[in-house]
Amino acid sequence: MNKMAKKKTLFIGGIKSGKSLNAQNYIVKNSKEKPIYLATTEFIDKEMQERVDAHKLSRSDSFETIEEALDLLSVIEKSQRSVLVECVSMWINNMLYHGSGFLEIKCEIEKILELDREIVFVLNDVGSGVIADNRLAREFVDISGKLSQLIASKCDEVYHTIAGISVRIK
């Protein structure tokens, strides 16, 4: 077992707030073994591929990267090491894109939260924005908000990140 004091941790903040880097530093610092970086991004276009490649290069020595856009549960179940889920927001997007609804998405998160694993979640805080002008965007925001509440309620620690500064709120 690694030396992390808590089983589940959430880093939440706006896009480009610094939450991902802080979550990475947190899990590396608190893990006895090299943690798993569970990357959820699907490659949509060349620009997204370039972003992903740059991120991979920046963390290559600190993590074992596993790319999985949909089936997070099976990857986490198989791992005996700490897992950084980067990020839940992209995973929700993927699940919606592939036809999953709220109940299916919620069920998978609940199963993940029940696992006896060290998990650090990264999630975009979408609750401070404006109401979207289209149904799919509103559905994404609703699901993300509900899941952020669920995940935070089950996490031992929650950090809110603004301008690169993560403040523990739970």
Class of domain 8-168: alpha beta
The H-assigned helical ranges of 83-134 are: 88-97, 102-114
Q: Name the catalytic one among 7, 28, 55, 56.
A: 55
Closest CA to 16 of 166, 164, 165: 164
Q: Per residue in 44-63, is it b (16+ CB within 10 Å) or e — as a string? A: eeeeeeeebeebeeebeebb
pLDDT at 113: 97
Cβ-Cβ contacts under 8 Å for 115 (sequence gap 6 or more): 76, 77
pLDDT at 105: 98
The pTM (predicted TM-score) of the whole model is 0.91
Per-residue pLDDT of the chain (170 residues; tens, 9 = 90+): 444 446 999 999 999 999 999 999 999 999 999 999 999 987 677 777 777 677 766 666 889 999 999 999 999 999 999 999 999 999 999 999 999 999 999 999 999 999 999 999 999 999 877 788 899 999 999 999 999 999 999 999 999 999 999 999 99
Does residue 55 carry a catalytic annotation? yes
Closest CA to 86 of 26, 126, 40, 117: 40
Cβ-Cβ contacts under 8 Å for 1 (sequence gap 6 or more): 32
State the number of CA atoms in the 13 A half-sphere of 158 facing the CB.
Answer: 16
Q: How far apart are CA 21 and CA 19, in angstroms?
A: 6
Cβ-Cβ contacts under 8 Å for 140 (sequence gap 6 or more): 92, 93, 96, 126, 132
For the chain, the structural domain boundaries read: 8-168
Q: How far apart are CA 64 and CA 155, in angstroms?
A: 23
